[in-house]
Structure 1
Amino acid sequence: MASLNAIAQKLVESGKGILAADESEGTIAKRFALIGLPVTLESRRDYREMLFRSTEAMTNYISGVILTEETLEQSAADGTHFRDILAEAGCIPGIKVDRGTMPMPGSKDEKITEGLDGLRQRLGHYARLGAGFAKWRGVIAITGYAPTRNGIRSNAHVLARYAALCQEAGIVPVVEPEVLADGEPGDHDIARCEEVTGETLEAVFSELRLAGVDLSGMLLKPNMVLAGTRAKDRPSVEEVARRTVATLRAHVPAAVPGIAFLSGGQSDEEATAHLSAMNQSANLPWKLTYSYGRALQTAALVTWGGDPANVAKAQEAFTHRARMNSLASLGQWRPELDLAA
């Protein structure tokens, strides 16, 4: 069996990133509403099959895919297991293992992620199915009341317990502490996001060390340092990149093999531009890449529209977006490359 570090290193292989295809039924319902498609077992299957069978994208630009429990055990229309389709493309199957967020008791505007009960047994099952990595998301809101120290520390503690259980099962934990840009009120400036992101990362790595987590056998999936989506002042691409890299240098140990960003609060092109600008920084101790869901999928989803006749064109749209982010992970993306599509 490959070591945790070997799996983590493969997930952040140069020019590749992670496809987040772990949307809950509620989230995928919102996405399907864009194209007027009802959410059924078959429509979810057909959509994900369209993505996973985009051979060029999956083989050249995607290292791993975060799946739901349903998708990890699901088969394509022809009966081929999705995990076998991913293996043929050289992609590592991963699994979302948290059970979602709930309001934190005794707090205002803060949430805690649930799902630790029974996680050891579930991870053993996922490992037997071939999952090489897992993901757990904790959310940190910025409001007039939040975050509190207790809110940050509680989410950090849960992330650490999850990560330790993953490594016990031989699964690489992807640790996702997300400081929200698009929550309410979402009008904070970039300096406030930088402050909260730094405090969150400091708490997360303190808890990971206390839990005995091997930092060389995990990945971090953080937010970028952004202004809130309703902020009046919009920082430049260069400022986002500079502040994000500075925050990571201050709080993320060099032992971590890679950082795969989420795309929350950004347009598709913004997520690509910010990642490329960060990868133009000198002497980074970790790989910086993508773990995008919406920012990789939206163009393909809209092109597909639920019509089998549009599958090839949708796969072309997905491949283009994956290629652009591959270039960004190498610091080589330029706006004119997107305009040429």
Structure 2
Amino acid sequence: MPSGETIVQCLKKKGIVCGVKLDKGLLPLIGSEGECTTSGISDLEQQCQFYKSFECHFAKWRCVYRVGDNLPSSLAIFNNAEILARFANVCQYHRLVPIIEPEILPEGKHTLLRAQKIAETVFSALIKSLNNHHIYLEGVILKINFVTPGMQGRSVYTPAEIAATTLTVLNRTIPAALAGIVFLAGGSCEDEATAFLDAINQPIGRRPWPLSFSFARGMLHSVMHTWAGDEDKVEDARKVLMQRAKSNNWAALGEYVLKKEKMLQKLKKEEEKRKALLGFEHNKKLKTHAFNDKTEDSDESAASI
């Protein structure tokens, strides 16, 4: 930064807490059918010490689970659960809040029911590993997908149905003690992810945890499309980003649909006012034109006399 401050210090002044992704990407899981595990656990302690010294306060670790006829395998489920628990243990030892991300990939033709069963199995194994490692659940944030059918399937569900299924999975597997749950957009488009988030924050069932969002592509796709590398479009892109952030904030409060309806009503009224004003100006011009024509006719008549 020009002032000599680090980015972390600059953000801290604005009340923004910084964190870091500590996993080093995916590795093939030996003995599986093309499944993956995550690397970076060997020097995790040194990484935690380093980033804590730079005033980072949370860290994230991602493991992925492929869905297939016989996937995810028991090997992948329990191996990744163990890695996520070890990550959480080291983070808490160094006073970093662990954000654990067991991402069930949306690719496939699986049904919503199968997606539900897989999520329940994965989350149950994860919680068991966290408990085995004596993790302080009140200091853990879980980052997950919404429970949806495979992207290549033909089934279509409403946001309310996706929300109800996801909430069923969470209530069956996740202890109320957990600090909070944030959702990633996964394979969903921006509006779809926001609609899912809004639906799950409606009073449809037991929700003992805060349910919020951790979107990347789910917020930035329209921003990048607006900007498209054009410096003249930077301000327009910022406005789009702010609107996406507001929409997702409303959704995290369960107010997105209501706010959207009010916003649309406001825009409709403004459009009606604009049309009315244009109509008034148009009529005024017509009357002025007609008056001028009459004046010219009168002048011509007077000249003839």
Aligned match for 2:106, one of 160, 181, 192: 181
Aligned to 1:82: 7
Aligned match for 2:49, one of 124, 132, 141: 124
Structure 1 79/143 Cα, relative in aligned 2: closer, same or farther at 3 Å?
A: farther
Are 1:270 and 2:192 counterparts? Answer: yes
Aligned match for 1:154, one of 69, 74, 79: 79
SS in structure 1 at match of 2:61: strand
Alpha-carbon distance in 2 for matches of 1:269, 1:225:
16
| Aligned residue identity for 1:197 | A
Aligned to 1:56: none
Post-superposition offset of 1:78 = 7.5
Aligned to 2:218: 295
Alpha-carbon distance in 2 for matches of 1:240, 1:313:
33
Aligned to 2:250: 327
Any conservation in 2 of the 1:187–1:228 contact (CA below 8 Å)? Answer: yes
Task: Output one character per residue of 1:40-94: Cα deviation in whole Å (capped at 9) or x when no partner.
Answer: xxxxxxxxxxxxxxxxxxxxxxxxxxxxxxxxxxx5x786532233223311111
Task: Output one character per residue of 1:200-237: Cα deviation in whole Å (capped at 9) or x when no partner.
Answer: 00000000011111000110001110011111111221
Aligned to 1:30: none
Q: How does 1:90-129 map to 2 (within 5 A)?
A: 90-129=15-54
Any conservation in 1 of the 2:52–2:94 contact (CA below 8 Å)? Answer: yes
Aligned to 1:48: none
| Aligned residue identity for 2:82 | H
Alpha-carbon distance in 2 for matches of 1:121, 1:142:
34
Q: Percent identity over the alignment? A: 33
Alpha-carbon distance in 1 for matches of 2:121, 2:20:
27
Alpha-carbon distance in 2 for matches of 1:140, 1:335:
35
Post-superposition offset of 1:312 = 1.5
Are 1:226 and 2:141 counterparts? Answer: no
Alpha-carbon distance in 2 for matches of 1:335, 1:225:
24
SS in structure 2 at match of 1:297: helix
Aligned to 1:241: 163
Alpha-carbon distance in 1 for matches of 2:102, 2:169:
14
Aligned to 2:180: 258
Any conservation in 1 of the 2:26–2:37 contact (CA below 8 Å)? Answer: yes
SS in structure 1 at match of 2:256: coil
**Alignment RMSD:** 1.8
Any conservation in 2 of the 1:111–1:140 contact (CA below 8 Å)? Answer: yes
Alpha-carbon distance in 1 for matches of 2:230, 2:92:
41
Are 1:309 and 2:225 counterparts? Answer: no
Task: Output one character per residue of 1:136-189: Cα deviation in whole Å (capped at 9) or x when no partner.
Answer: 00101101231111110000000000000000110000010011103xxx1111
Give the stretch that moved more between structures: 268-277 or 281-290: 281-290
Q: What is the TM-score normalised by the length of structure 1?
A: 0.74
SS in structure 2 at match of 1:146: coil
Alpha-carbon distance in 2 for matches of 1:192, 1:221:
20
| Aligned residue identity for 2:71 | A
Are 1:209 and 2:131 counterparts? Answer: yes
SS in structure 2 at match of 1:135: strand
Q: What is the TM-score normalised by the length of structure 2?
A: 0.82
Alpha-carbon distance in 1 for matches of 2:88, 2:194:
28
Any conservation in 2 of the 1:188–1:227 contact (CA below 8 Å)? Answer: yes
Alpha-carbon distance in 1 for matches of 2:205, 2:31:
44
| Aligned residue identity for 1:194 | Q
Any conservation in 2 of the 1:111–1:139 contact (CA below 8 Å)? Answer: yes
Q: Which runs of 5+ in 1 are unaligned?
A: 1-74
| Aligned residue identity for 1:307 | D
Any conservation in 2 of the 1:109–1:143 contact (CA below 8 Å)? Answer: no
Alpha-carbon distance in 2 for matches of 1:314, 1:130:
30
SS in structure 2 at match of 1:292: coil
Post-superposition offset of 1:293 = 0.7
| Aligned residue identity for 2:243 | H
